Chains A and B, each alone.
Chain A
């Protein structure tokens, strides 16, 4: 968004020199809830944090198409098929809005994508789990998109303007994702005993990985403090996780499904307190050892390589037309 060319002005380097006055004025603007725009002065660490966060978010949307794309051709009805197709198309759009937001910070989409394909950039751990049955598509919409919405709503007020605006767009589109997922769950739960068992099995497999989506517990999170000060992050990982659990438990009860957490209790204030999360699993998945990490990267690399001729042909065609136009103008 806006023009990246401006960020390459010769005085851009001077502008990144962090003098104390700049930093103070920057923080004062953040404290006053002002939005930071691409060509405004910003601390180098703020820029770096945002490029990392926004690009990881973008990669997640793109890789996130794979587990669901797996079921498009096998959706049980035309209604389900068009919904799933539209949802997966939305996720692609979300990825593109986010790459564009990251580019306003001076990164290039090509570099960001290459880093992801090289396995150097992270994406959400959740997309490294397999979609074994149709019920997984229901659970993903209901819980994975539900968790993403929890995380994305506060980001609509993020201090960085282009990211906040991308999130507003994303959140508007996201609500149908969750609703179509819950509708799938409701249909399965009102169906035969086998269908309901399938729904419960999917919930059992996805529940804990979904809770991990909110990231490590607050005391272990490395990026919390600065991001909070800069108003990139408005709620801590644990706060968002708690909000999500409180919202989700009644929805599971309505479906007649049980949360696979024998240690779960409701406290005096009505909050549902989950049992201990197995963070070693989370670390394993982040380290590349989840059930589908290799598959996901291989699929993205194949798509990228298979599309190379299209990018090359489009560039060659644009070049040819430019050449012809120049020749015509010279005549």
Chain B
């Protein structure tokens, strides 16, 4: 089932403040410190535990390929539109260089991987965002691939399963990134109008324009324990209201309490929960072709 070889760690930590603190790599490639309890964890034991801390249960981040290996039935994943890259549409200062670094850090061409797979035997269209690619930020290629996936799923009568991790819309593609929010939302709506299921799993962190669009548009919204999920960044809120934020603010448990996610599902249970939910929405042969 799971192969350790699929757990290649990205070269770099995620960009940005909180994100950078997440993966303090010690002894290069042998162990890491748990970002929550600070205990040293061997990478071997970590991947054995699906990248969850064996001591405190903290869910460490996963790459898109690790997610796919954990979620899809073995050998069932077929990638759609691999290797796609965008340009630098606004000739934004420093962006071309940032893209090069992101490719290197993530070993991905863009911040989302799309395709089809089976989960617990049920077929679905799948998108998985890649946090190591510019913090999973949503540029035009990200938006276009996710839009195309919903269009493809609508044509093929497939449910969509999506894993989000994102700092929001990508600043370096300016207004073109912002437009992806409306574009994806239109595709989600059309897919939904066909009576098809969209299942989202929000992972740490899911923020900004992704939260304010497709992350919050699923029929069933699941979250990983402890995941940071919100519209505004914590620093921005603190600067706006000039006070410290309460403990646990914008964490998955907070969103569950406030009524914005359906359930928190620990990583080790996800495969079975997702399989069950997909199966519950499978249409009998009587509906085929509708």
B is bound to A? no
Chain B residues with CB under 8 Å of chain A are none
